[in-house]
Amino acid sequence: MEQAHLEAIAAQVRRDVIRMVYQAQSGHPGGALGATDILVALYFAHMHHTPSSFSPTGLGEDVFILSNGHICAAWYAVLARRGYFPLQELSSFRRINSRLQGHPATKEGLPGVRVATGSLGQGLSVGIGIALGKRLQRDPHLVYVMIGDGELNEGQIWEAALFAAHHRVDNLIVIVDRNYKQIDGDTRAVLDTDPLEEKWRAFGWEVFSLREAHSFPAILSTLEQARSHARKGKPLIVIAYTIMGKGVDFMENDYRWHGKPPSDLEYERAIAQLPATLKDF
């Protein structure tokens, strides 16, 4: 897919995110905006998957898990725009009787979601389990797991890091949404995880650095590079240096946009920066 088209989709997804969070008057806009470009790249250009016939087992296709489930507004928008479920359903985000739960869930049967996430640190382990399942069933497809960088505080992430390297889970690509922000502030102030790339290397992972995490050519070439290292005995991780709140100037790099909706005035300012490139939901 052409870069211009991917950019148009990403712009619309950002607009979707702001509209969803504003309409629900709750949600997590900052991380969602920051991860939008990577999610669009994965779903519209990189992964092998079948939106029209979603299979809960994920066999015979690539699988994606959003371990940092709170940024699901962007994931839902990408899934809807990719055809996993009707676009109009985005208006039910975080409302009663909705499949679009505040954090991703399987109970309501939303196509695209294979495990509930939200309580942090768990999605990576589940992704590893799916990768092992694929290996046992000789399924050549890959598992992608996005994790947040605040999420790296969780001990379970490092249990999973040890396990994946030890068991040579090499059909797995982890993407860290490295925006250096978490709820209470800068990650370096709250609980420092630097030097991050060295940590993962020391744990036995093949590390790829994505410095331009909002450039489609850079995202796609890094993902492709990672994929070319699959099935070589090591788990793979892309450290994506994203900008929290990307696309809305007053949200960019401001940790206070982790989990609050915009006011009326802020909404007007935000949406003015995000013109519709596709049809609104």
Partner 1 sequence: MRPVYTDMGAKDTRSGFGAALLELGEKDERIVALSADLMSSVKMEAFAKRFPERFFQCGVAEANMIGVAAGLATTGFIPFVGTFANFATGRVYDQIRQSICYSGKNVKIAASHAGLTLGEDGATHQMLEDIGLMRGLPGMTILSPCDYHQTRLATLAAAEWEGPVYLRFGRPPVPTFTPPEDPSFQIGKLQVLLEGRDGVIFATGHLVWHALQASYALEAQGLSIAVVNVHTLKPIDEEGVVEWLERSPVIVTAEEHQMYNGLGDIISFISTKFCPRFIERVAVRDTFGESGKPEELLQKYGLTAAHIISAVERALEHQL
Residues near partner 1 (CB under 8 A) = 56-59, 105-107, 114-119, 121-134, 136-137, 139, 155-156, 159-160, 162-163, 166-167
Smallest distance from the beta carbon of 141 to partner 1, in angstroms? 11
CB distance 169 to 232 below 8 Å: no
Distance CA 194, CA 171 (A): 26
DSSP assignment of 196-210 equals: HHHHHHHTT-EEEEE
Nearer to partner 1 by C-beta: 33 or 120?
A: 120
Distance CA 7, CA 42 (A): 13
Q: Hey, what are 111's tokens?
A: 């196509």
Smallest distance from the beta carbon of 230 to partner 1, in angstroms? 17
Nearer to partner 1 by C-beta: 128 or 270?
A: 128
Smallest distance from the beta carbon of 114 to partner 1, in angstroms? 6
Smallest distance from the beta carbon of 169 to partner 1, in angstroms? 9
Distance CA 131, CA 135 (A): 6
- Give the residue ranges of DSSP H helices in 69-152: 72-81, 123-136
∠ Cα 218 178 274 (to 5°)? 65
Smallest distance from the beta carbon of 69 to partner 1, in angstroms? 9
C-alpha count within 13 angstroms, C-beta hemisphere, residue 194: 10
Distance CA 31, CA 70 (A): 8
Nearer to partner 1 by C-beta: 128 or 243?
A: 128
Nearer to partner 1 by C-beta: 162 or 202?
A: 162
DSSP state of 145: E
DSSP assignment of 174-190 equals: EEEE--SEETTEEHHHH
Nearer to partner 1 by C-beta: 60 or 83?
A: 60
Nearer to partner 1 by C-beta: 160 or 219?
A: 160
